[in-house]
Structure 1
């Protein structure tokens, strides 16, 4: 009489490994290859963008804003000499425009620059300034004293945060000079404006 053969325990038997058909394996390989090519293409595009657009510090800025020419055109409308100050060569003008009277009834000439340190410096010039308009142009910055620039006294306005301002009277016009950078930038621009209007 033969002994009964032990039966295999289904729970202990190893699970069968899935097998891919030839077409499934081919599709899987193609997906991996496409992913690699896509990543390489993206990296190539990113590298090309970096090469075509180097950082500002390595690129000489070229301004397309002609402050002097725009100032001449503004002067014909303004009724006063619109200043075109001779700012440092490494400053770059980024706008210059004449602003007609709005609801505040104040017309003014303005221009703005990027400084050596990539800060902003600009000015507004008018013969129609009033306390309300001045306060609006300076974002209600409080007066903190005066500042002498080449012998001319300017009122200094400094908020806790934001741009600083100088306000002065030059050649019969009110000038508001602003800067997001150092006080030296305010002095530089104010001095250039004075020189242009008083000695130009």
Structure 2
């Protein structure tokens, strides 16, 4: 009987039981899985201030747009072909004929050139009265035309921006004096039928030649008049 009790006691001691460390690990995992995620809570006052800042920014943006929108609408963007004023060069020239003492040139370039101004200048500052027309070329370059019957060397240097004479250019059956600054601008000068015509601008020489040809044709069709300049106000 004593032997059986000894065997039974040994079996009880060697029988595997639950490991305390295992139960602790399992319990910890279960506790972590069951725990709810922590969500930050913003105080009501802070949330109100944040909303007020966003609303203020939106209101300021709307006010800015409302302030600038009328300006944009009143100043529409120009069309792609640009603004081309409708200047009646012939009409202005007719009004200037009597005061000029000669028939101002009105070059006919068809629709290839457009004029953005035409005027008679009394020459108060320079002492040289002039007929002036501005032309935009087909390539959107500019050529200014100036005509006078009272040209002098000082005035001519001013008109050509002190550019040196670099040669001649034939146009309209006449040899024009070519002056080039070497900085993009050039001038063509012609003394013909008692007046001097100066073309100045940044256009290409072929465009200069086209306008110069039309100038000569206009001068040939309208000989200089001999009427003395009147004292009437320039148009």
- After TM superposition, the score normalised by the length of structure 2 is 0.67
Secondary structure of 1:122's partner? strand
Matched residues in 2 for 1:129 and 1:81: separation?
A: 16
| CA RMSD, Structure 1 to Structure 2 (Å) | 2.9
1:9-158 matches, within 5 Å, as: 19=43, 21=45, 23-34=48-59, 37=62, 52-57=76-81, 61-158=83-180
State the Cα distance separating 1:106 from its structure 2 match: 1.2
Structure 1 unaligned regions, length at least 5 = 1-15
Matched residues in 2 for 1:142 and 1:149: separation?
A: 20
Matched residues in 2 for 1:171 and 1:123: separation?
A: 16
Q: How many residues align?
A: 182
CA contact (8 A) 2:172 2:214 kept: no
Alignment partner of 1:177 is 2:199: yes
Secondary structure of 1:174's partner? strand
Matched residues in 1 for 2:115 and 2:44: separation?
A: 66
Secondary structure of 1:56's partner? coil
More contact order relative to length (CA 8 Å, sep ≥ 6): 2
Matched residues in 2 for 1:177 and 1:117: separation?
A: 17
Matched residues in 1 for 2:187 and 2:204: separation?
A: 11
Matched residues in 1 for 2:116 and 2:201: separation?
A: 14
CA contact (8 A) 1:179 1:185 kept: no
1:50-90 deviation digits (Å, cap 9, x = unpaired): 9x424433x5x442322111111111101111111112414
Matched residues in 2 for 1:139 and 1:114: separation?
A: 20
Structure 2 unaligned regions, length at least 5 = 1-39, 223-235
CA contact (8 A) 1:111 1:122 kept: yes
State the Cα distance separating 1:49 from its structure 2 match: 7.9
**Larger of the two Rg values belongs to structure:** 2
- After TM superposition, the score normalised by the length of structure 1 is 0.77
Matched residues in 2 for 1:177 and 1:46: separation?
A: 39
Matched residues in 1 for 2:44 and 2:193: separation?
A: 88
Which of residues 174, 181, 193 is equivalent to 1:159? 181
More helix, by proportion: 2
